[in-house]
């Protein structure tokens, strides 16, 4: 039996695999009517466990699974035994007897690692405190829809050193882009992730640079990306939150900041956005903004990823035709 593969971080895919998965997703998006006959997940149920709220991830997985001929099953943590009277590993072993794959949105990244260890079917991280690989796959697809090539593009991150930055950094590094990130002092990304990204950038001809100055990061950038300053799971530490928010005073993506970017820059945000905090209406509603394309592309990128993991022969057959 083939060994199953899990995607817990975007660098669980090789750079070539990531490129191919994105190419597949773009072809699928353009191929109207394809899913009337292409049903690689037919007869299969794909389960998704959520410990945190979700709009895009939940709906894009449910609709994407349905398009691929499969049956989506969403499990909210409060409704199942996970973490109450059953360990994550035992839950994973049981679910593997019913499901073709499991997606999991959790708080601590170690929990999705435990689920992957206990499962005999592929596990996809649907966001943890450390990684958001599905977002990065959709983001790379969105960048390629707007620019012909990845190389030479400068991507600027302005905001928190969080889960979305981690996979964005790994993906841009894998694909040979320049990633310049501006975060306030004390809110740097995870050191181990930065190390992995630095190695990827070295191999791809990309670049990783950090700064505490948003203008420096954004200068001549082709892509500007931000995310909420307070991520899910951080809301409960209210005293610390006030301190955290004040560190981000100069990190709002507004009209003045984007004036330093390339004229044709695109604005990206994983959403949900806190308008008026990390981004102004003027920027997110401008013609440079591609945030709703990113949201749509979650579905296409995840369809490619699921087919790749669950039914590689069908994935290859489609790839060969396009």
Asked if 227 is an active-site residue, the reply is: yes
**165 three-state secondary structure:** helix
Our answer to whether residue 275 is catalytic in this structure is no
Residue 135 known to be catalytic: yes
Q: Which two tokens stand for residue 67?
A: 């398009």
Residues of this chain that bind ligand NVA (CB under 6 A) = 127, 162-164, 227-228, 231-232, 270
Q: Which residue is nearest to ligand CP (CB)?
A: 57
CA distance 177 to 171: 9
Residue 55: which of ligand CP, ligand NVA, none does it interact with, CB under 5 to 8 A by kind? ligand CP
Q: How far apart are CA 278 and CA 269, in angstroms?
A: 10
Name the token pair of 114.
């435990």
227 binds, among ligand CP, ligand NVA, none (CB under 5 to 8 A by kind): ligand NVA
Catalytic entry in 58, 135, 139, 196: 135
168 close to 177: Cβ distance less than 8 angstroms: no
Active-site residue, 180 included: no
Tell me whether residue 223 or residue 273 sits nearer to ligand NVA (CB atom).
273
State the binding partner of 228 from ligand NVA, ligand CP, none, CB within 5 to 8 A by kind. Answer: ligand NVA
What is the residue-wise DSSP string for 166-185?
A: HHHHHHHHHTT-EEEEE--T
CB 54, min distance to ligand NVA, A? 8
> Contacting ligand CP (CB under 6 A), which of 18, 21, 127, 177?
127
Enumerate residues 247-286 that contact ligand CP by CB under 6 A: 270-272
The distance of closest approach from Cβ of residue 107 to ligand CP in the complex, given in angstroms and rounded to an integer, is 13
Q: Which is nearer to ligand CP, 6 or 51 (CB)?
A: 51
Q: End-to-end CA distance of the chain: give it in Å, rounded.
A: 28
Is 105 among the residues known to form the active site?
yes
Does position 57 interact with ligand CP (CB under 6 A)? The reply is yes
Q: What token pair was written down for 224?
A: 């500007």
Pick the closest to residue 36 from 78, 1, 66, 16 (CA basis): 66
- Shortest distance (Å) from residue 11 CB to ligand CP: 19
Question: With CB under 6 A, what is the number of residues at the site for ligand CP?
Answer: 9
d(CA 137, CA 171): 8
Q: Which two tokens stand for residue 263?
A: 């004229």
Please choose which of ligand CP, ligand NVA, none residue 280 contacts, taking the beta carbon within 5 to 8 angstroms, the exact cut-off set by kind.
none
Q: How far is the CB of 50 from ligand CP (least distance, A)?
A: 9
CA dist 177 to 120, 157, 266, 303, Å? 35, 13, 15, 25
State in angstroms the smallest separation of the CB of 115 from ligand CP.
18
Torsion angle, CA of 185/190/196/199, rounded to 10 degrees?
10
Is residue 134 among the annotated active site residues?
no
Nearer Cβ to ligand NVA, position 10 or 41?
10
- Candidates 56, 132, 180, 196; catalytic one: 132
In angstroms, give the least distance from the CB of 203 to ligand CP: 28
Choose which of 55, 81, 151, 286 interacts with ligand CP (CB under 6 A).
55
258 near 224, Cβ under 8 Å? yes
Beta-sheet strand order (sheet of 207-211): 207-211, 178-182, 154-158, 223-226, 266-269
Q: Scanning the structure block, which residue is given the tokens 């489609």?
A: 318
Exactly one of 58, 105, 180, 269 is catalytic; name it: 105
By CB under 6 A, name the binding residues for ligand CP.
Answer: 54-57, 127, 135, 270-272
């Amino acid at each position: 039996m083939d060994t199953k593969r899990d995607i817990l971080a975007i660098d669980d895919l090789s750079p070539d695999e990531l490129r191919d998965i994105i190419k597949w997703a773009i072809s699928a998006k353009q191929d109207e009517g394809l899913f009337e006959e292409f049903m690689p997940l037919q007869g299969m149920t794909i389960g998704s466990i959520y410990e945190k709220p979700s709009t895009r991830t939940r709906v894009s997985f449910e609709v994407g699974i349905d398009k691929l001929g499969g049956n989506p099953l969403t499990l909210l943590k409060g409704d199942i035994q996970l973490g109450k009277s059953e360990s994550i590993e035992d839950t994973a072993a049981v679910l593997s007897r019913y499901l073709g794959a499991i997606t999991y949105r959790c708080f601590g990244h170690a929990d999705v690692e435990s689920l992957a260890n206990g499962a005999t079917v592929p596990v996809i991280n649907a966001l943890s405190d450390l990684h958001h690989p599905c977002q990065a796959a959709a983001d790379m697809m969105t960048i390629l829809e707007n620019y012909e090539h990845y190389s030479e593009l400068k991507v600027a991150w302005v905001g928190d050193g969080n889960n979305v930055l981690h996979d964005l950094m790994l993906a841009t590094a894998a694909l040979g882009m320049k990633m310049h990130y501006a975060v306030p002092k004390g809110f740097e990304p995870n050191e181990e992730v930065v190390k992995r990204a630095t190695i990827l950038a070295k191999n791809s001809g990309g670049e990783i640079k950090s700064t505490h100055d948003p203008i420096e990061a954004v200068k001549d950038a082709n892509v500007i990306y931000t995310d909420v300053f307070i991520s899910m799971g951080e809301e409960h530490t209210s005293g610390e939150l006030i301190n955290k928010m004040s560190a981000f005073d100069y990190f709002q993506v507004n009209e003045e900041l984007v004036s330093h970017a390339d004229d044709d820059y695109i604005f990206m945000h994983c959403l949900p956005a806190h308008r008026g905090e990390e981004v102004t209406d003027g920027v997110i509603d401008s013609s440079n903004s591609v945030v709703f394309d990113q949201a749509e592309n979650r579905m296409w990128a995840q369809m490619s990823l699921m087919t790749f993991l669950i039914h590689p022969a069908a994935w290859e057959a489609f790839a060969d035709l396009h």
